[in-house]
DNA sequence: TTATTATTTAACTACATAGCTATATAGTCA
DNA sequence: TGACTATATAGCTATGTAGTTAAATAATAA
């Protein structure tokens, strides 16, 4: 399974060396758009709910415990950016993850955050070594 | 070098299995905040400029070709979220990447976007197979 | 046809924030 | 001390967007 994911890592690193270092402003906008799609808790919740496979809008509304219109709007955005695919069947519309890469992104962030909070906890646990440089996460 | 990065991948995947599936709403907010920090072209530009090591605010202002106040504000945000570290030396303040993970994130997104645009190009090049489901990226 | 259900969309409000200008703060040197 | 430089911040405007409500659209069934 880990083997399976290797190609992704390899190609991603190649892309980085070939393009990331010379990213022009236009490309940065696309990358920022991609990250912005993941910068909303409800969208992450939807994405997380799609881990186990496709769901229709009603199911996702239930799973996310919010309004159906709101879920629909977020799904539209996710589809526009190519993160999910849309398939109408009967009166329902089923969405599924189009790009499993997002889970690797989320995993990396989770790992980093865990490390970050762990570091903070250690700093706070060590008297006299409290960090004054990094303020608390806003809000 | 690829070997070196392996531990990161492994631990990230472990974190995913241990925590991502049961992310509560509070955790989702933190993850979203992290992504939001990367959801701004200028911040990505700053991060990219820090690839080769530390820079002070003046240098970053020059490299990003924008106002000093704006760079400072973005750097403050990046520091708050733990992506960069701040170190005052003399009258200057030097920033450096605190979390190399972000480059792996950017690389993944770049790879995915390249794939996405490549797919779109192929779709547009194949008459009669044009996709109607996914609209163009907004704006 | 009408009724029903599922989804999308339009219109709106409230809020967050990017970028600007001007000012404040802090360190260095005379 | 004052002058100078580097950085941070306050106040402001404009823009984007999350969430809500209500209406529109689309597919199915009676």
Tokens of B75: 């750097």
DSSP states of B78-114 as a string?
Answer: HHHTTSEEEEEETTEEEEEES-THHHHHHHHHHHHHH
Q: Would you say residue B139 has pLDDT above 50? A: no
Within a 10 A sphere around the Cβ of B78, how many other Cβ atoms? 25
A109 closest CB neighbour out of B31, B112, B137 = B31
* Confidence tier at A126 by pLDDT (50, 70, 90): low
Phi, psi (deg, nearest 5) at residue B68: -65, -40
Chain A residues 44 to 103 whose Cβ lies within 7 Å of strand C are 56-58, 61, 68-69, 72-73, 75-76, 86, 91-93
Q: Would you say residue B63 has pLDDT above 60? A: yes
Q: Would you say residue A39 has pLDDT above 90? A: yes
Phi, psi (deg, nearest 5) at residue B4: -55, -35
Contact B37, B43 (CB under 8 A): yes
B39 closest CB neighbour out of A39, A45, A112 = A39
pLDDT digits (tens, 9 = 90+) for A108-118: 887 777 777 77
* B109 neighbourhood in chain A, CB within 8 Å: 31, 34-35, 101, 105
Rounded, the Å distance between the CA of B90 and C1' of C28 is 8
Nucleotides of C under 7 A from a protein CB: 5-10, 17-22, 26-28
Mean pLDDT on A52-72: 96
| CA R_g for chain A | 19
Tokens of A94: 């089923």
CA angle centred on A124, ends A121 and A129, rounded to 5°: 125
Phi, psi (deg, nearest 5) at residue A134: -100, 110
């Amino acid at each position: 399974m880990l083997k399976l994911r290797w190609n992704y890592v390899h190609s991603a690193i190649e892309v980085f060396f070939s393009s990331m270092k010379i990213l022009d402003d236009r490309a940065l906008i696309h990358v920022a758009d991609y990250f912005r799609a993941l910068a909303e808790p409800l969208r992450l919740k939807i994405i997380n709910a799609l881990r186990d496979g496709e769901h229709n809008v009603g199911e996702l509304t239930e799973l996310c415990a919010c309004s159906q219109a709101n879920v629909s709007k977020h799904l539209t955005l996710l589809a526009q950016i190519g993160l999910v695919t849309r398939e109408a069947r009967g009166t329902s519309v089923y969405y599924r993850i189009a790009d499993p890469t997002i889970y690797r992104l989320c995993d990396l962030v989770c790992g980093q955050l865990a490390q970050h909070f762990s570091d903070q906890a250690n700093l706070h646990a060590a008297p006299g070594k409290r960090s004054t440089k990094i303020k608390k996460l806003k809000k």
